[in-house]
Copies of this chain bind each other. A is one copy, B any other.
Amino acid sequence: MRTGMTYNNLSREKHLIDPAMYSCDILIHNGMILTMDPLLKVISDGMIAIRKDTITYVGPKTASMTGAVTIDAGGGIILPGLVNGHTHTAMTLFRGLADDLPLMEWLTGYIFPAETRIDADFVYTGALLACAEMIYSGTTTFCDMYLFEDKVASASQKSGMRSLVGEVLYDFPSPNYGSIEKGFAYTEYLIQKWKDDPLVSIAVEPHALYTCSPELLQTAHAISMRHNVPLITHLAETHTELAEIQSRYGKSPVAHLESLGLLGPHLIADHCVHLNDSEIERLVQYQVNIITNPESNMKLASGAAPVSSLITRGATVGLGTDGCASNNNLDMFLEMDTAAKLQKIARMDPTALDAVTVLKMATCEGAKALGMGSVTGSLEPGKKADVIVVDTAKPHLTPMYNPYSHLVYAASGADVRHSIINGRLVMKDRQLLTLDAEDIMLRANEKAALVKQWVA
């Protein structure tokens, strides 16, 4: 074990808790806990207690603790639920519709024609399908950008998943809100409607610099400031975008955002593939949060984001899958593997972006990037109980010298056995408890039949 792991050397004294807390709602035991806390504490035979929605104990096993429900981790790994920092959930319904195509043919021949036809029920179905897939593969929090986002929020609520969602805003008419004024109004409606929800948070989400006028971006920024919610946009994803922004505004995307006054710790910038050194420096100085999406960047041939440089200089970088039209799944384990390997080959350095750093991107750093660092992303008393258990009693996870290596380089989402979100057991022994996967797949296939007509 070479990377900063401090094994269980905690005395019982440090973990004295209120006697009333010796009983809890959910008790997880018989596993190695990767806390992903600031010390990256690892507890080799640990126990976690949950009361209501909150973690009340993380430490060595103790016989004096009892839980209304007990989860046996079976000798596996207990870790924080994964945070998918950027996706378009409803695009699960376009999964595999059009691959291996030039970008413009993909967009204009398939994605755009289909997207003009979608409605709220389409988005709800696709989002439920995504939630089922995400729970199965260990994700407990996701950040979404798409249309009819009230329905994504509903799907998040129904599935029991934590989310940060927002309606995509752009200059052209949307199938949901028509004019951009209505788009802003819809965003404010979402902010009001969901403001007290324990699971769903709302962000203001202008699509990208090449689809949003400076005025749109500044209005979106003002709404974000007024309500103290995150502002999210795609940034510096492709060479085409760089050329377009340079041609329109005589600036790089980062400089354009800076000149509009949009850079700051409230901003979550997705992709950030093409940055020069001074732009990296500015993003760090302004404390902009960054979500990298390596599989999508590879599949669409966008490029390799300078993730190692960003992290080395102090940026908060989370990890996302992007949508299923450019990935084609929502499996954060596979995304972690690709994140590490892409940095290594892009920098021609096998030490670039090690497994611990990548797991942080998918847990504590990812949560921090979404403004949820005090809520989720690590296993610590007082945090909301977002916990997954990985079954390691499988040939491809045997033997185990280093749990971080296994999670990043050898595991897949199918190895997740149990999942708890906000103190609620949402998957037990790979059975979903909040969603009817059969019914969702049936409805997804009905929507796919429509899609085939739309792009025929």
Contacts and interface: CB of A to CB of B under 8 A. Distances in A.
A182 to B, nearest CB: 31
A398 B441 contact: yes
A399 B445 CA distance: 5
A414 interface: yes
A99 B354 contact: yes
Nearest to A411: B329
Contact of A409 (B130, B300, B329): B329
Contacts of A441: 393-395, 398
A301 B331 CA distance: 24
Interface in A94-152: 95-103, 106, 129-130, 132-133, 136-137
Interface string A180-212: 000000000000000000000000000000000
A337 interface: yes
A401 B348 contact: no
A393 B99 CA distance: 21
A412 interface: yes
A359 to B, nearest CB: 12
Interface in A327-350: 327-331, 334, 337-338, 340-342, 344-345, 347-350
Contacts of A372: none
Interface in A9-30: none
Given A345-B297, A445-B398, A409 B96 contact: yes
B437 A395 contact: yes
Contacts of A448: 399-401
Interface string A347-372: 11111111100000000000000000
B396 A136 contact: yes
A158 interface: no
B301 A344 contact: yes
A447 interface: yes
A222 interface: no
Interface string A258-295: 00000000000000000000000000000000000001
A405 interface: yes
Contacts of A452: 401
A402 interface: yes
A444 interface: yes
Contacts of A414: 412, 414-415
B401 A328 contact: no
B410 A412 contact: no
Contacts of A409: 96, 99, 299, 327-329
Contacts of A298: 341-342, 344-345
A106 B350 contact: yes
A93 interface: yes
A395 B132 contact: yes
Contact of A351 (B102, B348, B354, B393): B102
Contacts of A301: 344-345, 347-350, 352
A19 B414 CA distance: 44
Most chain B CB atoms below 10 A, which of A129, A330, A351: A351
A5 interface: no
A304 interface: yes
Contacts of A95: 398-399, 401, 405-406, 410
Contacts of A96: 400-402, 405-406, 409-410
Given A299-B341, A303-B345, A350 B129 contact: no
Given A95-B410, A97-B401, 15 more contacts: A92-B398, A95-B399, A95-B405, A96-B410, A133-B396, A136-B394, A295-B341, A298-B345, A302-B345, A330-B396, A331-B396, A394-B437, A398-B444, A401-B451, A401-B452
Nearest 8 pairs between A and B by C-beta?
A399-B448, A414-B414, A96-B405, A298-B341, A100-B354, A328-B409, A133-B395, A132-B395
5 contacts: A3-B100, A99-B354, A300-B350, A301-B352, A412-B414
